[in-house]
Amino acid sequence: MRHLLTVADLGVEEIEGLFDLTDKLKREVEDGIKHPILAGKTLGMIFQKSSTRTRVSFETGTFQLGGHALFLSSNDIQLGRGETVSDTAKTLSRYVDGIMIRTYDHSDVEELAEAGSIPVINGLTDLLHPCQILADLYTIQEKKGNLKGKKLTYIGDGNNIANSLLLGTTKVGMDITICTPAGYEPDSEIIKEAKTQAEMSGSQVEILDDPVVAVEGADAIYTDTWASMGDEAEKAERLKAFEGFQVTTELMNKAKDDVIFLHCLPAYRGQEMTAEVIDGPQSVVFDEAENRMHIQKAIMVKLMEENSQNMQESNEYKQNIS
């Protein structure tokens, strides 16, 4: 595990390993145990898109591990003023031990990883949101005991969340149904990739446009805002297009009796779901939000600690042959 750019890059054993480490780190927080695993290490956090949960969860998580998180908005660094992604990656590689970036173009994340010499974590792009989906899967496992054979239904916009859910669920053997209005489906190439993964894991992928049919047999129902950051100009058009796709108590009742509700936040009560659903007993939304921090701590430990060990082994090798 060199970087985290997409869930598709992870093997099932790597995901299980991340979840096991997340369990351990989460218990230590609850028990007040402090292990400064990342003492002396710095995470550079590039934000070209603002966020409540991404910033606070990464910053607090890094602190809990004994490290330091450095907030870098597009106004603070030259990347926002014309410096190339490659030059930024090479420069930051001399200063910090890892980079988390939340941006628009997925190609920027890929270029950072290719040009730099330190781990890169995709904190969100318009295409994918792997940290969120790992937190989602971890939360479902917490609540349901296991993932394989469970069904997740996503209702709403075929955005980066839908794309990453397709890749994440089929990787671990979950069935997934994506339900969107016509014209708002997930990325077609990602649908193909998810179906290929599903064949390997024994899961199923459905793309539907009827919410009532979509939630049949669902163990978890997931939704997201209908107008993501960058789609604000289309808000009125989207509100009209998504009429009938709101997650209501009536819709939840058509799934399994023990169905849970997820949302990556921020949520807009009265739009993609009712207040009764997100604030009700089936909602695990705030457990899900908390788990962002715990899973990201595990990701940072796996990437930044292992990268440090690899560099140390490389330096020892160079000393031995000099």
Query: Among residues 80, 112, 115, 83, which one has the least CA distance to residue 99?
Result: 112
Q: Is 54 annotated as a binding residue?
A: yes
224 is in an annotated binding site: yes
> Are 223 and 272 spatial neighbours (Cβ–Cβ below 8 Å)?
yes
Q: Catalytic residue, from 55, 106, 238, 292: name it.
A: 292
Q: Is 107 annotated as a binding residue?
A: no
Query: Is 132 known to be catalytic?
Result: yes
Question: CA dist 31 to 24, 35, 94, 296, 304, Å?
Answer: 11, 12, 36, 19, 24
**Given the residues 141, 263, 264, 296, the one annotated as active site:** 264
131 assigned to a ligand binding site:
yes
Q: Is 265 annotated as ligand-binding?
A: yes
Residue 102 in marked binding region: yes
User: Is residue 264 flagged as an active site residue?
Assistant: yes
Choosing from 3, 102, 238, 294, which is the catalytic residue? 102
Confirm whether residue 62 is marked as ligand binding.
no
27 appears as a binding residue in the annotation: no
Determine if residue 57 is labeled as part of a ligand binding site.
no
Is 50 assigned a ligand-binding role in the annotation? Answer: no
The reply to whether 68 belongs to the active site is: no
φ, ψ dihedrals at 98, nearest 5°: -170, 155
Q: Which of 157, 224, 263, 271 is catalytic?
A: 224
- Residues 6 or more apart whose CB falls under 8 angstroms from that of 290 comprise none
Q: Catalytic: 179?
A: no
Contact 213, 178 (CB under 8 A): no
Known catalytic residue at 102: yes
- The structure tokens listed for 93 are 């590689």
Catalytic-residue membership of 294: no
Catalytic residue among 48, 132, 197, 271: 132
Exactly one of 3, 55, 129, 294 is catalytic; which is it? 129
73 is in an annotated binding site: no
Cite the annotated binding site for L-ornithine by residue number.
160, 224, 228-229
Catalytic (active-site) positions: 102, 129, 132, 224, 264, 292
Cite the annotated binding site for carbamoyl phosphate by residue number.
51-54, 78, 102, 129-132, 264-265, 292
Cite the annotated binding site by residue number.
51-54, 78, 102, 129-132, 160, 224, 228-229, 264-265, 292
